[in-house]
Amino acid sequence: MLTHDDVPEGPAGAAPSVDVSALPGGPLRLGPVFARSPVAMGVVDAFGRLLAVNQSLADYLGRSPEALVGTTLHAHASADDVGRLRTGTSERRLRHARGHDLWAVVSSVPMPEAGDGAALVCLDDATSRRNTERMLLHAALHDSLTNLPNRRLLRDRLDTALSRARRSTERVAVLFVDLDRFKAVNDTFGHDVGDEVLVSVAKGILSALRSKDTVARLGGDEFVVVLPRLSKKQARKRAKRLEDEIERLAVSRRVRRHFHGASTGIVKARKNDSAARVLGRGEQAMRAEKQRRRKRAERNGNGSSGRPQSRVVR
């Protein structure tokens, strides 16, 4: 028995509607239960066309029963739902008449009294559960303060970029960014102000990147940027733009006296590099740059480390 588009589209023309109460055994098996059930229900033919729907199904999809009869559930599926309903139970993404997506657990049982291959289809709303799952997954993969990808999602995206580069001539560059003297901001003004600076830094970095790039917060004041399809020279330019954005942060003059930009290490991924190895080399490059800036500040005899400079580890 087929319940939904498992076979080619049926004959042209609308499918005739069915009075379920008039079906053999209808009043006993369905009758008012079908019409008044809070469960969204419909009867489909062998081609998946709706022969009858109850008001709950109509309300669920935001359409009138008359508008649904003769259509298939697949016609009301979300563009992202590529599966097709089959015998048994499956979870599908449908589209409400107002345009928002609905998740439903769809189950079907044979209903031969409505015709060869006909079935009774029931929909159980799963939208709330799906939305909760999506929020939990997002929280597991993103930093709660800046909403940037966290270390776990960073590793996944870096692995993907490295794998793609190994199969082609693409290059992958990674920037390891650490804010200079950020501890002084937290110690002087408190963590609330420090958090505001981190959010501003995240926005500044994002504004300097392409949509294909990834920026993640590792924790504290450390950020990592993955730049696929960029040469070393292009990565230097991107780092310069990023540092300019951090320098232009909208922070108060009091905070700016303690905040001196960022130290950035740049690495170009080598063939057969793992994500862990690239991140390790990036952190080494950043530490070396931070040490160089600190020595420069000591020579200058002031607390500022000067304008950030990028270091490339070959």
Residues that are catalytic: 221
Strand partners, 225: 175, 215
Sign of CA dihedral 303, 307, 313, 314: negative
Q: For the chain, list the strands marked E by DSSP.
A: 40-44, 50-53, 89-95, 101-110, 119-125, 172-179, 214-219, 222-228, 262-268, 310-313
Cβ burial, residue 137 (10 Å; 0-12/13-18/19+):
exposed
- Residues 266 and 175: beta-carbon distance below 8 Å: yes
Task: Give the separation between CA 208 and CA 177, rounded to whole angstroms.
Answer: 14
Task: Give the separation between CA 33 and CA 170, rounded to whole angstroms.
Answer: 62
Phi and psi at residue 95, to the nearest 5°: -120, 125
Task: Give the separation between CA 204 and CA 261, rounded to whole angstroms.
Answer: 12
- Residues 226 and 161: beta-carbon distance below 8 Å: yes
- Residues 263 and 290: beta-carbon distance below 8 Å: yes
